[in-house]
Amino acid sequence: MSTKKIIVIVVIVLALAGITAGTILHGQAGITKVATGKVLREDLVSTVSGTGQIKPKNYVNIGATAFGRITHLYVKEGDRVHKGDILARVESVQPESTVDAQQAAIASSRTDIASYVAAENTAQANIAQAQADLEQKKFDFDRAQALYNAQLIAKQDFDAKKAAYDVSAATLDQRVAALAQAKAQTASQRAHLDQAVASQRANFDALDKTISRAPFDGLVTNVPVREGETVVVGIQNAEGSTLMTLADMSVITAEIKVDETDIVNLRLGQSADVTVDALPGRTFKGHVTEVGDQALLRTTGVATSQSTTGTEEAKDFKVVVTLDQTPVAHLEDLRPGLSTTAKITVADKPNTLTLPIQALVQRDPALEKDLADHAGKPSTVAVSAASSSGVPPKPNLAQGVYLLTTSKGKLRANFVPVTTGVTGTTEIEVLSGLKEGDEIVIGRYQVLRALKSGTLVKRDNSTPVTTTDDNSSSS
């Protein structure tokens, strides 16, 4: 074969290859590469997160109940105490002296009572003696009267017996009166004793106020005073000295702030997982016990009802999660004020139809349908009808996804309106518009933003290469 013929054959082969390659490239010029995913059935869990801090459900500021100098502090911050434990003492010289003096007065009153009781007994014995003497004088008077009536004794003797009888009667009356007087004195002294005992109770109370005791089992979280400092009692509208703060750690809560867009999904009793920044790797179970109804400004934490500024800014709501009862050993490391994050489960739907959240777009279904109907017909372009004023009507946007369909061997993406439900972390529930196994376009973002119905597409689920400045910065 001549060289000329070989050259001609090579030229013809190259021309055919060029035509074939050009045809392929031209056919792929209008094809868009898209990342795809499928509509699947899976367990969908929706959560709402918030950050805040650990707080005891109950805590109390133990203030000074007596004026004076602190003589003893028996606890320090971080100590755990039991109900009734002595926490601190204030100087008590004057209250103790008052108690001792009153105690002596009470002892004296009891001695006086014993003396008056003895006087009562003496008066009672005197009455018995006077009664016996009166009875004897009565017998003598009766005999003397009989003898006098029989004119056997002189009138002088009769008068003497009568006078003796009258004296005995008067003596008895006198001794009865003395007994009544002794009983009155005893009753009066008993009343004085009761008064002294009542005053002593007040004295004991004043002395007891120099001692501070724990009102419940708890954790000492703050001790702002020192031994030797003088404390005062708080009065109305004036804060007194605070000795320490005691937190009841038997019920621990996580007080968190939740964004205003999520608060409508929260309900009392919803379960939550609480993590503490200071305790990595540990999760505490809890449940929602309080959902605030007052919006708080995110920058200041002030309630919107109390804010005097008219600026619009992001708002949060306070939510309280109470930690479930767990072994004490698991709670010993918790301290009030520790930063915490709570993930609250607001919905849990097993085996539900889901799609990736990033696949959702907003489109006008009517316009997308026109584009799909005229796909492959470049000479006919679907244009929204203009109003009489010449301004196109406002699009009626709807939520949906681009569903992959095959027509005449070509893969196209067509917009399908979708109704969604519960939102998970990366998935969202499908209520209508799709079925299990449907393949949809899920990315990339730049592609989805410009994608239209009827567009020819090609699957490209390769991982995008992320460029860094390392190579460009190296020299």
The sign of the CA dihedral 310, 311, 314, 316 is negative
Q: Which residues contact 221 (CB under 8 A, 6 or more apart)?
A: 59, 77, 245, 246, 247, 335, 336
**Rounded to whole angstroms, how far apart are CA atoms 454 and 368?**
8
Output helix, strand, coil percentages for the chain, rounded to the nearest 5: 35, 35, 30
Q: Residue 254 in contact with residue 323, Cβ under 8 Å?
A: yes
Tokens of 395: 């699009």
The verdict on 104 and 196 lying in the same domain is yes
Of the candidate ranges 13-22, 25-34, 420-429, the one whose mean pLDDT is the lowest = 13-22
| DSSP string for 224-264 | ---TT-EE---BTTB---EEEEEEEEEEEEEEEEEETTTGG
Q: What is the 3-state secondary structure (H, E, C) of 82-149?
A: CCCCEEEEECCHHHHHHHHHHHHHHHHHHHHHHHHHHHHHHHHHHHHHHHHHHHHHHHHHHHHHHHHH
> CA-to-CA distance for 289 and 254, rounded, in angstroms?
10
385: buried, middle or exposed (CB in 10 Å: 19+, 13-18, 0-12)? exposed
62-71, 233-242, 339-348, 450-459: the lowest-pLDDT one: 233-242
In this structure, the answer to whether residues 257 and 330 fall within a common structural domain is yes
- Among residues 360, 468, 346, the alpha carbon closest in space to that of 419 is found at 360
318 token code pair: 């306070």
**Mean pLDDT to the nearest integer, 287-311:** 83
Single residue among 311, 327, 350 that ends a domain in this structure: 350
CB 274 within 8 A of CB 340: yes
Residue 234 maps to a domain:
no
Percent of the chain residues topping a pLDDT of 70: 84
In-domain check, residue 68 = no
Domain CATH for 301: 2.40.30.170
Query: What gap in Å lies between CA 464 and CA 303, rounded to an integer?
Result: 46
Tell me: pLDDT of 58 over 80: yes
Average pLDDT, rounded, for the chain: 85
In angstroms, the CA 267 to CA 48 distance is 11
Evaluate if residue 61 carries a pLDDT over 70. Answer: yes
Q: How far is CA 326 from the centre of its chain?
A: 17
Q: Residue 28: which pLDDT band, with cuts at 50, 70 and 90? A: very low
Q: Is 403 within 8 Å of 439 (Cβ atoms)? A: yes
Euclidean distance between the first and final Cα of the chain, in Å?
A: 56
Amino acid in the structure at residue 387: S
Q: 241 lies in a domain?
A: no
When comparing pLDDT for 385 and 44, which is higher?
44
Task: Give, for 297, the enclosing helix (H) or strand (E).
Answer: strand 283-297
Contact 253, 57 (CB under 8 A): yes
pLDDT of residue 237: 56
The percent of residues above 90 in pLDDT, for the chain, comes to 50
pLDDT at 15 over 90: no
Lookup: tokens for 457: 């597409």
Q: How far apart are the C-alpha atoms of 195 and 202, rounded to whole Å?
A: 11
Output phi, psi for 325, to 5 deg. -65, 125
Q: For the residues 42-49, what does the mean pLDDT come to? A: 92
Residue 127 lies in a domain: yes
Between 341 and 382, whose confidence is greater?
341
pLDDT given for residue 429 in this prediction: 94
- The residue from 307, 329, 350 where one domain ends is 350
Lowest-pLDDT range of 27-41, 62-76, 126-140, 383-397: 383-397
When pLDDT is cut at 50, 70 and 90, the band that residue 382 belongs to is very low
pLDDT, position 408: 81
Instruction: Identify the DSSP state of 4.
Output: H
Last residue of a domain, one of 320, 350, 380: 350
Strands 242-259 and 315-323: antiparallel
Q: Is residue 275 in some structural domain?
A: yes
| The dihedral formed by the CA atoms of 452, 456, 462 and 464, expressed in degrees to the nearest 10 | -40
Distance, in Å, from the CA atom of 283 to the CA atom of 275, rounded to the nearest integer, reads 5
Q: Write the CB contacts of 306 (distance below 8 Å, at least 6 apart in sequence).
A: none
Residue 139 has pLDDT above 60, yes or no: yes
Q: What is the pLDDT of residue 465?
A: 58
R_g over Cα of the chain: 51
pLDDT in tens, 192-241: 999 999 999 999 999 999 999 999 998 898 999 999 998 888 775 556 68
Instruction: Give yes or no: residues 297 and 191 share one domain.
Output: no
Residue 183 lies in a domain: yes
Domain around 188? 94-208
Mean pLDDT of 86-106: 93
pLDDT at 376: 60
Domain count, the chain: 2
pLDDT of residue 30: 66
Rounded-to-integer distance, Cα 350 and Cα 44, Å: 6
How confident is the model at residue 381, as a pLDDT? 45
- Please tell me the predicted confidence (pLDDT) of residue 387: 45
- 324-379: per-residue pLDDT in tens? 876 555 567 788 889 999 999 999 999 999 999 999 999 988 888 877 777 666 54
- Has residue 396 been placed in a domain? no
User: Residue 117: which CATH number?
Assistant: 1.10.287.620
Residue 382 lies in a domain: no
Parallel, antiparallel, or unpaired for β 455-459 and 32-38?
parallel
Q: Which of 262, 268, 254 has its CA nearest to residue 315?
A: 262
Question: Does residue 176 register a pLDDT over 50?
Answer: yes
**What pLDDT score does 24 carry?**
44
Per-residue pLDDT band for 59 (boundaries 50, 70, 90) equals: confident
The beta strands (E) that lie in 327-473 are given as 339-356, 361-363, 398-407, 410-417, 419-423, 427-432, 439-443, 455-459
